[in-house]
Amino acid sequence: MSDAIKAAVLERLGRIAGPEGGGDIVSLGLVSDVFVSDGRVAFSITVPADQAREMEPLRQAAESAVKSVPGVEKAMVALTAERKPGSPAPQPAPAAAPQRHSHAPAAPQGQRQGGPAKAGVPGVAHIIAVASGKGGVGKSTTTANIALGMKANGLRVGVLDADIYGPSVPRLFGVSGRPEQVEGRILKPLEAHGIKVMSIGFMVEEDTPMIWRGPMVMSALTQMLREVAWGELDALVVDMPPGTGDAQLTMAQQVPLSGAVIVSTPQDLALIDARKGLNMFRRVDVPVLGIVENMSYFVAPDTGKRYDIFGHGGARAEAERLEIPFLGEVPLDMDIRINSDNGTPIVVADPAGPHAAVYRDIAAKVWSEVSRPLGEVRRAAPAIVFD
């Protein structure tokens, strides 16, 4: 379905002439990867940096062309300008050894066997990615609830929303507004439910298309990672963009991750995507901490009877096959959705309830995987065989 939409989108864009003539915007190579998820289409068009304003009609033409494709509900088209060589780039903070503190006696982030050492974020013991092979599987909901589960388990936690395609942290945590500048370029993270949060959604106006080319993604991410006063954290949980494209790979490569959690629904197709996610982390030498099966089963609210409507258990079987930890299963439940939409994820909305217990348990497993003592070999993601 999304492949057909993508092809139709490219076909329509192929009828739009480039800004300086010489062909259409697709054949001129000005259109980025086209991202399609749940009827949302997102991409960028590269334009000369000094003409960005004059190019607005081109952007609008592309947007309306895409909106006319059947199946497209929302089109997000951004103009991007590649940075010219020599123009100033944001400077990452100087490399510094991560500061250790008493209850996080863990392996230093970014220093894994066989992997290149990446500069850590001072004060942050572990950076943990939450990823999914495709959109809509509940990755952001899981990120928020795992982070809150860790907080409930006594850890100091931050959440970095790096989902450039659809930042959800403002909605999930019920926070908005611009982060305050504390000193120089350093931003103060916002805070909600006792967690420090930073989102790409705080940095741009709502409804502004947020499509980024690789270098822009990295500078925005670097800023959110290194130019934010995170303070002392045991875990910084990163909500990754869905999928396994170049942007995701670059992020997985550039961020000093201690490990990654993969979220999948039980359906076969979603699991194939999850496998791609596993493979991506393997390529960049980031340990996979385990799989969470989301929307695993459904409990009828009136009778309490459990229905495995999606063939629950697929992710557990897959985890066993791939010899990676299975972190837990989260049911499909109205309360999980409603509370997320209200800015109070279920772990804080109903801390004594069964779902909060599931997430706290997953959070504890993630933490025990990530904080294995130095020297103990953590499983690297296994080779993935597509059959």
Which residues bind to ligand ADP, rule: CB under 6 A?
Answer: 132, 135-141, 168, 242, 294-295, 330, 332-333, 336-337, 340-341
Q: How far is the CB of 144 from ligand ADP (least distance, A)?
A: 8
Q: How far is the CB of 194 from ligand ADP (least distance, A)?
A: 20
One-letter amino acid for residue 63 of the chain = E
Q: How far is the C-alpha of 54 from the C-alpha of 222, rounded, in Å?
A: 29
One-letter amino acid for residue 17 of the chain = A
Burial-class residue 38 by CB neighbours within 10 Å (0-12, 13-18, 19+). Answer: exposed
Name which of 61 and 357 has its Cβ closer to ligand ADP: 357
Q: Which residue is nearest to ligand ADP (CB)?
A: 138
Name which of 168 and 371 has its Cβ closer to ligand ADP: 168
Q: How far is the CB of 338 from ligand ADP (least distance, A)?
A: 8
Name which of 284 and 332 has its Cβ closer to ligand ADP: 332
Cα distances from 212 to residues 150, 163, 219, 221, 258, in angstroms, run 31, 11, 10, 11, 25
Name which of 110 and 201 has its Cβ closer to ligand ADP: 201
Q: How far is the C-alpha of 385 from the C-alpha of 387, rounded, in Å?
A: 6
Q: How far is the C-alpha of 287 from the C-alpha of 107, rounded, in Å?
A: 12
Q: What are phi and psi of 366, to 5 degrees?
A: -60, -45
Name which of 135 and 266 has its Cβ closer to ligand ADP: 135
Name which of 139 and 196 has its Cβ closer to ligand ADP: 139
**Three-state secondary-structure class, residue 1:** coil
CB-based burial, 207-239: b 16+ in 10 Å, e otherwise: eebbbbbbebbbebbbbbbbbbbbeebbbbbbb
Name which of 78 and 137 has its Cβ closer to ligand ADP: 137
**C-beta contacts of 277-281 below 8 A and 24+ residues apart:** 277/131, 277/132, 277/133, 277/244, 278/322, 278/324, 278/381, 278/384, 279/244, 279/381, 279/384, 280/131, 280/244, 280/248, 280/249, 280/252, 281/129, 281/131, 281/252, 281/381
* Two structure tokens written together for 177: 């507004």
Q: How far is the C-alpha of 100 from the C-alpha of 375, rounded, in Å?
A: 16
Name which of 110 and 343 has its Cβ closer to ligand ADP: 343
Distance linking the first and last C-alpha atoms of the chain: 22
Q: How far is the CB of 118 from ligand ADP (least distance, A)?
A: 25
Name which of 25 and 336 has its Cβ closer to ligand ADP: 336
For residue 290, what are the β-bridge partners? 261
| Residues in CB range of 268: below 8 A, 6 or more apart | 314
